[in-house]
Chain A
Amino acid sequence: MNDNRNRTPSISPAAVVVAAIFLLVSVIGINWFTSFVPVVLPPQASAESKSVDELFYVLVIIGGIVFFLIQGMLLISVIFFRAKSGDQSDGPNFHGNALLEIVWTIIPAGVVVFLAVLSFNVWMQNTEPKATVNLIDGDEVKINVSGARYAWTHTYQTGRIDPNGAQIVINSGDKLHTYIGQNIELELRTQDVIHSYWVPAMRVKQDLLPGNPATGGRPTDIRFTPVRVEGETYPASYPIVCAELCGDGHGRMTGEVIVYADESQFLQQFYEPAIYAIMNPPADPVLRGEILIQEYICNSCHILDSLGWTSRTGPSLNGIADRAGERVPGQSAEEYIVQSVWNSQAFVVPGYTEQMAAFGPDQPDANAMSAEQLYAITAFLCTQGEQTDCDIENQTVAIPAAINTAFGLDVDITFGQGDGAESDSSEAPDED
Chain B
Amino acid sequence: MATIAVPVGAQAEQNEQEAVRRPALSEYLRWSVDHKIIGVQYGISSFLFFLVGGAMAMGIRWELLTPALDLMVSGSAYNSLFTMHGTVMIFLFIIPMWAAFGNFVVPLQLGAKDMAFPWLNAFAFWLIPPAAIVILMGYFVTPAEAGWTSYPPLSTLFSGDGQTLWALGAHLLGISSIMGSINFIVTILNMRPESMTLWRMPLLCWAVLATSIIAVMATPFLAGALTLLLLDRVAGTTFFDAAGGGDVLLWQNIFWFYSHPAVYIMVLPGMGVLSEVLSIHSRKPVFGYRMVGLSSMGIAFVGFTVWAHHMFTSLQPELRIPFMITTMIIAVPTGIKMFSWLGTIWGGKIRFTSAMLFALGFLSMFVIGGITGVMLAALPFDIHVHDTYFVVSHFHFVLFGGSVFAIYAALYHWFPKVTGRMMNEQLGRIHFVFTYFGFLFTFFPMHIVGMLGMPRRVAVYDPSFTQWNQLIGLSAFVLGFSTFIVIYNVIRSYYRGPIAGANPWRALTLEWATTSPPPVTNFIDDPIPYEDPYGYGTEAATAYLDAVDESFRNGRPASGGH
Contact surface of A with B, Cβ cutoff 8 Å: 1, 3-5, 8-11, 40-42, 48, 51-52, 55-56, 59, 63, 66-67, 70-71, 73-74, 76-78, 81-84, 87, 89-97, 100-101, 104-105, 108-109, 112-113, 115-116, 118-120, 122-123, 126-127, 192-194, 196, 198, 200-201, 203-207, 209-214, 218, 239, 241-252, 312-313, 353
Contact = CB atoms under 8 A, between A and B. Distances in A.
Closest 4 CB pairs of A and B: A9-B347, A251-B458, A93-B537, A200-B453
Given A209-B314, A241-B455, A243-B388, A83 B283 contact: yes
Given A41-B451, A87-B349, A96 B289 contact: yes
A96 B343 contact: yes
Interface string B316-344: 01001100110011011001101110110
Interface in B141-163: 145-147, 151, 153-154, 157-158
A200 B360 contact: no
A265 to B, nearest CB: 25
Contacts of B249: 209
Contacts of B75: 247-252, 313
Contacts of A74: 342, 345, 360, 363-364
11 contacts: A66-B367, A95-B288, A109-B329, A120-B379, A204-B384, A205-B387, A209-B249, A210-B153, A247-B79, A252-B460, A313-B75
A210 B242 contact: yes
Given A41-B452, A90-B284, A203-B384, 4 more contacts: A101-B339, A198-B455, A204-B384, A246-B154
Nearest to B282: A91
B350 A78 contact: yes
Contacts of B559: none
Contacts of B374: 59, 63, 112, 115
A126 B380 contact: yes
Given A59-B375, A210-B153, A239-B453, A247 B332 contact: no
B412 to A, nearest CB: 17
Given A81-B345, A89-B283, A247-B145, A101 B291 contact: yes
Contacts of A63: 371-372, 374-375
B350 A55 contact: no
Given A4-B537, A9-B347, A239-B462, A120 B314 contact: no
A90 B313 contact: no
A241 B453 contact: yes
A205 B536 contact: no
B375 A245 contact: no
Contacts of B371: 63, 66-67
Interface in B70-101: 74-76, 79
Contact of B346 (A3, A77, A246): A77
A127 B346 contact: no
Contacts of A100: 343
Nearest to A63: B371
Given A91-B283, A112-B374, A245-B151, A81 B248 contact: no
Contacts of B320: 123
Interface stretch (B42-50, B204-212, B430-438, B538-546): B538-546
B347 A213 contact: no
Given A96-B288, A242-B455, A248-B76, A81 B242 contact: no
B451 A70 contact: no
Contacts of A312: 69, 74
B136 interface: no
| Residue of B151, B287, B339, B448 most packed against chain A (CB within 10 A) | B339
Given A200-B453, A243-B455, A245-B154, A96 B287 contact: yes
B349 A251 contact: no
Interface string B86-126: 00000000000000000000000000000000000000000
Contact of B314 (A66, A207, A214): A207
Contacts of A93: 284-285, 535-538, 541
B338 A56 contact: no
Contacts of A73: 342, 346
A81 B350 CA distance: 6
Contacts of A113: 328
B24 interface: no
Contacts of A109: 329, 332
Contacts of A51: 380
B386 interface: yes
A247 B76 contact: yes
A52 B380 contact: yes
A211 B242 contact: yes
A198 B387 CA distance: 10
A4 B537 CA distance: 7
A1 B74 contact: no
Interface string B194-229: 000000000000000000000000000000000000
B74 A248 contact: yes
A203 B287 CA distance: 42
A93 B508 CA distance: 13
Interface of B: 69, 74-76, 79, 145-147, 151, 153-154, 157-158, 242-243, 245, 248-249, 282-285, 287-289, 291, 313-314, 317, 320-321, 324-325, 328-329, 331-332, 335-336, 338-340, 342-343, 345-352, 360, 363-364, 367-368, 370-372, 374-375, 377-381, 383-384, 386-388, 447-448, 451-453, 455-462, 535-539, 541-542
A94 B325 CA distance: 35
Nearest to A59: B375
A61 B511 CA distance: 44
B533 to A, nearest CB: 12
A247 B383 CA distance: 22
Contacts of A48: 380
Contacts of A101: 288, 291, 336, 339-340
B387 A196 contact: yes
Most buried by A among B347, B384, B536: B384
Contacts of A213: 243
A247 B76 CA distance: 6
Contacts of A313: 74-75
A239 B317 CA distance: 24
Given A77-B346, A115-B378, A209-B249, A1 B287 contact: no
A92 B284 contact: yes
A71 B335 contact: no
A353 B145 CA distance: 14
Nearest to B334: A108
Given A83-B350, A100-B343, A243-B386, A218 B242 contact: yes
Contacts of A94: 284-285, 287, 347, 537
Contacts of B321: 120, 123
Contacts of B538: 3, 5, 90, 93
Nearest to A3: B539
A118 B379 CA distance: 10
Given A81-B349, A193-B158, A207 B313 contact: yes
A109 B336 CA distance: 10
A395 B69 CA distance: 40
A84 B283 CA distance: 13
A204 B460 CA distance: 22
B317 A115 contact: no
Given A83-B283, A242-B455, A251-B458, A203 B383 contact: yes
A4 B539 CA distance: 9
A200 B384 contact: yes
Contact of A67 (B289, B368, B457): B368
A78 to B, nearest CB: 7
A72 B335 CA distance: 16
A245 B536 contact: no
A248 B492 CA distance: 44
A112 B375 CA distance: 10
A312 to B, nearest CB: 7
A116 B324 contact: yes
Given A81-B350, A90-B537, A105-B336, A40 B451 contact: yes
A209 B384 contact: no
